Amino acid sequence: MKRVVYARRGGLEAIEIIEDEVPNPSTGQVLIEVHRAGINFADLMMRQGLYGGAPDFPFTPGYEISGIVRELGSGVTSLAIGDRVVSFTGFGGYAEQVVVDVERVWPLPEDVSFDAAAAMPVTYLTAHHMLVHLGNFKPGDTILVHHAAGGVGTATAQLAKALDSGAVYGTASPNKSDFVESQGMIHIPRGEDFVKRIKKEVGGVHHALDPVGGKHVMDSYRALRNGGRLYVFGASSAVNGPKRSMWAALKMWRSTPQFNPLKMMNSNKSVFGVHMGQWKDEDVIREQMVSLSKMLELGLIDPVVDSVYRFEDVVKAQKHIHDRGNRGKVLLDFSPK
Ligand SMILES: NC(=O)c1ccc[n+]([C@@H]2O[C@H](COP(=O)([O-])OP(=O)(O)OC[C@H]3O[C@@H](n4cnc5c(N)ncnc54)[C@H](OP(=O)(O)O)[C@@H]3O)[C@@H](O)[C@H]2O)c1
pLDDT in tens, 153-162: 999 999 999 9
Nearest one of 91, 94, 162, 171 to 127, comparing CA atoms: 162
Domain boundary assignment for the chain:
2-120+303-333, 122-277
The pLDDT value given to residue 337: 84
In angstroms, the CA 11 to CA 184 distance is 35
Report which protein residue has its CA nearest ligand 1's atom 10: 211
Which residues, 6 or more positions from 106, have their beta carbon under 8 angstroms from its beta carbon?
85, 86, 87, 289, 293
Provide the pLDDT for residue 109: 87
46 C-alpha to ligand 1 centroid (Å) = 13
Q: Assign 118 to helix, strand or coil.
A: helix
In contact, 70 and 22? CB cutoff 8 Å = no
For 39, 309, 334, the CA distances from 1, given in Å and listed in that order, are: 20, 18, 10
Q: Is 275 in the pocket of ligand 1 (CB under 6 A)?
A: yes
In tens digits, what is the pLDDT along the chain, a chain of 337 residues? Answer: 999 999 999 999 999 999 999 999 999 999 999 999 999 999 999 999 999 889 999 999 999 999 999 999 999 999 999 999 999 998 999 999 999 999 999 999 888 999 999 999 999 999 999 999 999 999 999 999 999 999 999 999 999 999 999 999 999 999 999 999 999 999 999 999 999 999 999 999 999 999 999 999 999 999 999 999 999 999 999 999 999 999 999 999 999 999 999 989 999 999 999 999 999 999 999 999 989 988 998 999 999 999 999 999 999 999 999 999 999 999 999 999 8
Nearest CA to ligand 1 atom 39: 173
Angstrom distance (rounded) from CA 85 to CA 35? 10
Identify which of 152, 243, 323 to mutate to test ligand 1's pocket (most ligand atoms within 8 A of the CB): 152
Bridge partners (DSSP) listed for residue 82: none
151 lines ligand 1 (CB under 6 A): yes
> What pLDDT sits at residue 52?
86
Pocket mutation for ligand 1, best pick of 179, 319, 324 (most atoms within 8 Å of C-beta)? 324
Residue 154: CB within 6 Å of ligand 1? no
* Predicted local confidence at residue 156, as pLDDT: 98
Helices (H) and strands (E) in the chain, counts: 11, 15
Q: Is 35 helix (H, G, I), strand (E, B) or coil?
A: strand
Cis check: omega of the bond before 58, within 30 degrees of 0? yes
pTM, rounded to two decimals: 0.97
**Is ligand 1 within 6 A of the CB of residue 121?**
no
Q: Name which residue sits closest to atom 29 of ligand 1, judged by CA.
A: 236
| 39, 40, 41, 181, best to mutate for ligand 1 pocket (most atoms within 8 Å of CB) | 41
CATH number of the domain located at residue range(s) 122-277 in this protein = 3.40.50.720
For a ligand 1 pocket test, name from 50, 145, 236 the mutation site with the most ligand atoms within 8 angstroms of its C-beta.
Answer: 236
> Looking at residue 267, what DSSP letter applies?
H
Is-contact 171 201, C-beta < 8 A?
A: no
φ and ψ at residue 238, rounded to 5 degrees: -75, -10
Q: Where does residue 184 rank: exposed (0-12), middle (13-18), buried (19+ CB within 10 A)?
A: middle
| Index of the ligand 1 atom closest to the CA of residue 146 | 41
For the segment(s) 2-120+303-333, the CATH number from 3.30.200.100, 3.10.150.10, 3.90.180.10, 3.30.465.10 is: 3.90.180.10
Query: Does 122-277 match 2-120+303-333 at the fold level?
Result: no
CA–CA gap between residue 47 and residue 24 (Å, rounded)? 27
Nearest residue (by CA) to ligand 1, atom 31, is: 239
Q: Please tell me the distance from the alpha carbon of residue 34 to that of residue 263, in angstroms, as a whole number.
A: 49
Q: How far is the CA of 266 from the centre of ligand 1 (A)?
A: 32
> Does the C-beta of 67 come closer than 6 Å to ligand 1?
no
> What residues contact 260, with CB distance under 8 A and at least 6 apart?
none
Q: Is the CB of 326 under 6 A from ligand 1?
A: yes
CA distances (Å), origin 74, targets 23, 49, 71, 242, 309: 15, 36, 10, 42, 34
Q: Calculate the alpha carbon distances from 184 to 52, 73, 328, 329, 334 in Å.
A: 33, 44, 14, 17, 32
Phi-psi region of 311 (alpha: psi -120 to 50; beta: other; left: phi over 0): alpha
